[in-house]
């Protein structure tokens, strides 16, 4: 599963997640600069996370969004 998070003329950021069997889920944040001389996707962050860790990340993001309103 992959989703575009941010898109401007100068930069794109997307997130990708796939299940890695019993290891958990492989989460990647991928950057792309379309105006570069040789544009290519670059993994900016990646890690293997358990379901509980992903839920903690989701809860953190939800709380941060609610707090900023």
Mean pLDDT (the chain) is: 94
What confidence category does residue 68 fall into, taking pLDDT thresholds of 50, 70 and 90? confident
Distances (CA, A) of 43 to 40, 47, 61: 10, 11, 21
Domain ranges across the chain? 2-67
pLDDT at 8: 93
Q: What is the mean pLDDT of residues 20-41?
A: 93
What confidence category does residue 22 fall into, taking pLDDT thresholds of 50, 70 and 90? confident
The whole-model pTM stands at 0.83
Is the CB of residue 20 less than 8 Å from the CB of residue 28? Answer: no
């Amino acid at each position: 599963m992959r989703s575009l998070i941010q898109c401007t003329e100068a930069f794109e950021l997307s997130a990708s997640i796939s299940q890695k069997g019993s290891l958990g889920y492989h989460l990647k944040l991928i950057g792309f600069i379309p105006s570069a001389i040789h544009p290519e996707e670059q993994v900016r962050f990646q890690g293997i996370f358990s379901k509980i860790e992903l839920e903690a990340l989701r809860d953190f993001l939800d709380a941060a969004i609610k707090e900023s309103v």
